[in-house]
Amino acid sequence: MHESFRIAQKTGLMFRYDQAMPEDMQGWVVQQLQAESPAIGIANIYSTAEEWPAELQPNLAKRSAMWRQFRQLKKQQREGKNGQDNEAAVQANRKANLLRDTDELKFVHRNVYGADQVKLRLAAFWANHFTIGNTFDTSNMIGHAIDEGIIAKLNGSFADMLYGITTHPGMLTYLDNVWSAGERSEKAKDCNRRIDCHAGLNDNLGRELLELHSVSPAAGYNEDDIHSAAKVLAGWGIDFGEDVARMRKLTGGNNHWDAYKKRWQEPGSKTVMGKRIYAGKKGLRQLTDFLAMHEHTIDYIATKLCRHFISNQPSSEEVKAVKQVWRDTNGDLLAIHTKVLDLAIASPDVKFLWPMTWLFQVVRLSGATFFQGWEQRHDYSNDLMRTQKVFKELGQSFWSERQPNGYSDDPAEWMSAEMFERRLRFAHAIYENGRVRRSTSKIMDRIGASSATRQLVASVGMSPRDQFIALMCSPELMGLENA
């Protein structure tokens, strides 16, 4: 594989079929890391790429209002109070107020049409690291968390990203922290006086903050540390469907990304892994800053980054180099990412591609128009191009009801006979329905396909469709062998 495509495969999403090749790939990666990241997409399958409409990218206040309207109408429909309990009314409500289809399509469009392919690969890594599963109250928040909590923070510090994602309403809701109250809080005291009230501490986010988002179990923390972290988090977050008046009463404001209920906080200081944490709202930032620069966090996440971008089995020297940059720059993500990608470029090892990443690369290489435009996002006449169905078939979606530990980077987790057969079906569907703009032979010439890949393609016969499938599902294009 030509060097430009080898680097784009490992660090980005491949160059689109009509995109000029940069002469300086190392410089290109640096430019990519510092580039703007607008949401790019298509209005319909016949239009050219442009920026997404602002009205389809609502802020948290608007998202909350839409979610509240959805829940109110659902309640009315269940009770039959508005005469709109039929399926058409239910679907109209979902289209008007739920943002999953819109956000998921925007994510797909960015990855297929965006010029900032390296930043988007990094965004996928971090969106998986900070998993927010699609539970009953997060469908309107996941897209915002990816855009504003991750992509917008890629060139800041890890400490800022950790604090921002921890306090995002999507994370606080997904891990039940919006209902967590300190055991000695005013909320708990009030509830203890009533037989119809329940209030208590929920350890979920405190546990995942230590286990998955920062230090990992290698740090040797115990259940007391988890419990103390949960106490620091008590009071953070509010039900996304609360009306504005009640939100102001509970939190003193109307910012869902800074929602802290003082009456729910655990009073007094806490101790987490030997670190004394302030009482009150500011204690959480103190805790996340402490965790962001903890040696076990640095080791854990540096290793994950190396495994995701450099090699399935990165060397200790590669991990050590990333860890040193982390320490030297106080967790500056631009510096850390630059080092990781430099090492990825220098490493001769191949890197297995997630199904999601592979799909985006196939579509970009071939110039296929495989996904609907934003004007068609509620058109269900073509199930093939609906993002929700596509990702379900792939077995990978940031909007699924997934576990907090995210998707594995281990190729063995993804290369069963069933998972490979799914890629074959997708390659077939892309060829048949995606308006592919480049022939298989031209794609192979452009990327500099290996002799083994060319022999594989030749072995399937003269059918253009079969040759396309063979190329896209070849070991070389899936990141399973050296080019």
Closest CA to 189 of 271, 280, 269, 267: 267
Binned at pLDDT 50, 70 and 90, residue 191 comes out as confident
The whole-number pLDDT of residue 85 equals 62
The pLDDT tens digits of the residues spanning 1-54 come to 999 999 999 999 999 998 988 999 999 999 999 988 999 999 998 999 999 999
- The encoded tokens of residue 189 equal 């005291």
Confidence of residue 320 (pLDDT cuts 50, 70, 90): very high
Per the structure block, which two tokens stand in for 152? Answer: 């917008």
The pLDDT of residue 217 is above 70: yes
Q: If you average pLDDT over residues 439-453, what whole number do you get?
A: 96
Q: In terms of Cα–Cα distance, which of 291, 141, 166, 169 is closest to 233?
A: 166
> What's the confidence (pLDDT) of residue 382?
62
Residue 56: its pLDDT value, please? 96
Mean pLDDT value of segment 64-86: 80
pLDDT digits (tens, 9 = 90+) for 412-421: 999 899 999 9
What integer pLDDT is reported at residue 305 of this predicted model?
98
Whole-number mean pLDDT of the chain?
Answer: 93
Confidence band for 385, pLDDT divided at 50, 70 and 90: low
User: Which residues have a Cβ under 8 Å from the Cβ of 365 and sit 6 or more positions away?
Assistant: 14, 15, 16, 17, 438, 443, 447
Which pLDDT does position 233 carry in this prediction? 98
Is 84's pLDDT higher than 90? no
- Range of weakest confidence among 191-200, 272-281, 312-321: 191-200
The pLDDT of 106-118, averaged and rounded, is 96
> 354-365 in b/e burial notation, b at 16+ Cβ within 10 A?
bbbbbbbbbbbb
- Please state the rounded mean pLDDT for residues 379-388: 71
- How far apart CA 420 and CA 408 sit, in angstroms, is 16
Percentage, residues of the chain above pLDDT 90? 83
Least confident of 78-92, 325-339, 465-479: 78-92
User: Of all helices (H) and strands (E), which one includes residue 188?
Assistant: helix 186-192
Q: What pLDDT sits at residue 384?
A: 58
Q: How many CB atoms lie within 10 A of CB 318?
A: 23
Q: pTM here? A: 0.95
Highest mean pLDDT among 89-103, 182-196, 284-298, 365-379: 284-298
- Which residue pairs, CB below 8 angstroms and at least 24 apart, start in 390-397? 390/108, 390/359, 390/426, 391/104, 391/356, 393/422, 393/425, 393/426, 394/355, 394/356, 394/359, 394/422, 394/426, 395/355, 395/419, 395/422, 396/354, 396/355, 396/356, 397/104, 397/356
Q: What is the distance between the alpha carbons of residues 194 and 46, in angstroms, rounded to a whole number?
A: 61
Give the separation between CA 197 and CA 117, rounded to whole angstroms.
Answer: 50
Radius of gyration for the alpha carbons in the chain, expressed in angstroms and rounded:
24
| Residues 6+ positions from 62 with CB-CB distance below 8 Å | none
Question: pLDDT band for position 383 (50/70/90)?
Answer: low
DSSP letters, 112-158, are: HH-S-HHHHHHHHHHHHHT-----TTTTTTHHHIIIIIIGGGTTSBH
For residues 20 and 127, the answer to whether their CB atoms sit within 8 Å is no
Residue 378 has pLDDT above 90, yes or no: no
Bridge partners, 271 (sequence order): 276
Pick from 251, 234, 233: which is nearest to 242 by CA? 251
- pLDDT-based confidence at 248, cuts 50/70/90? very high
Average pLDDT over residues 363-383: 86
pLDDT at 379 over 80: no
